Amino acid sequence: MIDTAQAFFEQLAERGYEPLLHSISGTIQWKIQDAGNWFVVVKNGKLTTSRNMVQADCVCECSKEDFDRMVMGKQNPTTLYFQGKMKITGDLELAQVFQRLFPDESLSGGEQGKKESR
């Protein structure tokens, strides 16, 4: 069985550039309970990921189950945050823009959450 979070960040790293993140620059730390930390360093959409601790501009923290549900399109990131189940500290603009990457279509499939045109 594939690890959703790992697959999500690995695919992101492979893309190397994500136009949906073109407007932001900074380091986002994903602190996923029972799955550890991922760091995404973005510079105007160009990005690298790593698992080594670095100083983050924005920290997003949630459970592994909730993270997977966001990736799969079963949980909206904004309402997860509003419900208090995802903690965000630091630069909220980074988190606001990063949430565009959910769900990950290649991992979720299905019409809901589909990003490309019909």
Q: Which residues bind other proteins (CB under 8 A)?
A: 19-20, 22-23, 73, 76, 78-79, 81-87, 92-93, 95-97, 100, 103, 111-118
At its nearest, how many Å lie between other proteins and the CB of residue 85?
5
Do residues 39 and 51 touch, judged by C-beta distance below 8 A? Answer: yes
Give 6 or 78: the residue with its C-beta nearer to other proteins. 78
CA distance 93 to 13: 21
Give 48 or 82: the residue with its C-beta nearer to other proteins. 82
Helix segments in the chain, DSSP class H: 4-15, 64-72, 77-82, 92-98, 105-108
Give 34 or 50: the residue with its C-beta nearer to other proteins. 34
- Report residue 70: phi and psi, to 5°: -65, -45
At its nearest, how many Å lie between other proteins and the CB of residue 52?
27
Do residues 101 and 12 touch, judged by C-beta distance below 8 A? Answer: yes
Give 50 or 74: the residue with its C-beta nearer to other proteins. 74
- Report residue 33: phi and psi, to 5°: -60, 135
At its nearest, how many Å lie between other proteins and the CB of residue 103?
7
